[in-house]
Amino acid sequence: MIRPWTIIGVADVANSFRWYQSLFGQKASSPAHDYFGQLVDSDGTVLLCLHKWGGHDHPTLVSPDLAEPGNGLLLFFRVDDFEQALERARALVLKLAEEPQVNPNTGTREFALLDPDGYFVMISEL
């Protein structure tokens, strides 16, 4: 099986790490480094990697000034606790980017919000 590790550039790894842990309903912990952290599901699956902008010489992670964070990227997560995820999301942001609705293509409910770095995060029920 092939599983991608999605890595996004962030301004503050620890802050984004806490934000995503809150959104996913995970126990609080700290990222392994101040420049990189992996959010991991209970079965060990990597959900998302957070990389500090300019932390290394990766050409696409040099600076948010050279690329608009989130442009062309949709972080899409399917969850088995949709109502609880919605409550957690509402506690994290003043306003959702998209209120809950049924996607006519999948027949599942979904909503969207922006993370601290401006990435568009879609949450969909299983």
Per-residue confidence (pLDDT) for residue 102, from 0 to 100: 98
- Tens-place pLDDT, residues 35-67: 999 999 999 999 999 999 988 877 778 888 877
Task: Indicate the SS3 state at residue 43.
Answer: coil
By C-alpha distance, which of 106, 97, 103, 82 is closest to 24?
Answer: 82
Q: To 10 degrees, what angle do helices 13-24 and 82-92 make? A: 140
pLDDT averaged over every residue in the chain: 92
What's the pTM?
Answer: 0.90
- Tens-place pLDDT, residues 100-114: 999 999 999 999 999
- Tens-place pLDDT, residues 111-125: 999 999 999 999 999
What domains are there in the chain, each with its CATH number?
7-57+69-125 (3.10.180.10)
Question: How big is the CA angle at 10 (ends 6 and 16), to the nearest 5 degrees?
Answer: 90
